[in-house]
Amino acid sequence: MQISSSSLYDVGSTYTIKLNEKELLVVDEDPIDKKRQETKQTQKEKELEEKKAQESKKSDPTELSEDEKKLVKDLQTRDSEVKAHEAAHQAAGGGMTGAASYTYQQGPDGKMYAIGGEVSISTQGGATPEETIAKAKQIAASAMAPGSPSGQDFAVATSAKMMEMKAQQQLTKEQQEETQGLKTYSKEQNSSQEKIEQPPNLDISA
């Protein structure tokens, strides 16, 4: 059985198989399906280009609207203020403060800006009233270090002042007890000395 070079065999709506002049199989794509694939690919490319354009707009401040530019400027100012505020706490607190943690907000330019922050500080008392007083003073100094302390900063400073007052009271009490103890000891020593130096009673008979 001979097959002519123009014989076609339909194997579905997507492809058509035919024999060329050298009787080799050639697969031709269905023109309708090919057009559909091209349209789909074009749509994907268009979506990708739109996505890139949006990302480029976010990264390029010149593409932002006036309101968006103003918001970015406000966020930049707030970011600087927040970080300077927490840095002041850390600098004044020394080894008593922990790492700063921040709350961020994404701006119209796609960048993240700090809009809030906090620094932890140890309020544990010292081994002695003197140590506790020193720590309390440093805690208060750290809390009030920023140029514009927050309500929370004032609350921490107040707690530190209370901590200092209690330690001062304890120190005064200990000093008073120590002074009284020395006085009692001194009085007892003097009394004992007097007894030693007092001559014994002599019973002299004529």
Give tens-digit pLDDT for 114-159. 999 999 988 888 889 999 999 999 999 999 999 889 999 999 999 9
In terms of domains, do 112 and 137 share one? no
Q: Among 81, 100, 122, where does a domain finish? A: 122
Residue given tokens 């002074």 in the structure block = 179
Residues 136 and 164 grouped into a single domain: yes
Given 73, 98, 122, which residue is the final one in a domain? 122
Whole-number Å distance between alpha carbons of 80 and 146? 13
How many CB atoms are closer than 10 A to CB 16? 16
In a domain, 194, yes or no: no
Give domain status of residue 1, yes or no: no
- Tens of pLDDT along the chain (206 residues) come to 444 444 444 444 444 445 555 555 544 555 666 666 677 677 777 787 777 666 655 555 568 889 999 999 999 999 999 999 999 999 999 888 999 999 999 999 999 999 999 999 888 888 899 999 999 999 999 999 998 899 999 999 999 999 999 999 999 998 888 888 777 766 666 655 555 454 444 443 44
- The answer to whether residue 204 sits within a structural domain is no
Is 205 inside any structural domain?
Answer: no
Domain limit, last residue, from 14, 33, 59: 59
Q: Which ranges of 19-113 does DSSP label H, i.e. alpha helix?
A: 31-59, 66-93
The residue range of the domain holding 164 is: 123-189
- Indicate whether 156 and 110 sit together in one domain: no
Asked if the structure places residue 206 within a domain, the reply is no
Put simply, whether the predicted model's pTM sits higher than 0.85 gets the answer no
State whether 176 and 127 are in the same domain.
yes
7 domain residue, yes or no: no
The domain tally of the chain equals 3
114, 82 in Cβ contact below 8 A? yes
149 and 143 Cβ atoms separated by less than 8 Å: yes
Give me the long-range contacts of 171-176 (CB less than 8 A, separation at least 24): 171/129, 171/130, 171/133, 174/129
Q: Is residue 94 part of a domain?
A: yes
Are residues 175 and 127 part of one domain?
Answer: yes
Are residues 93 and 128 both part of a single domain?
Answer: no
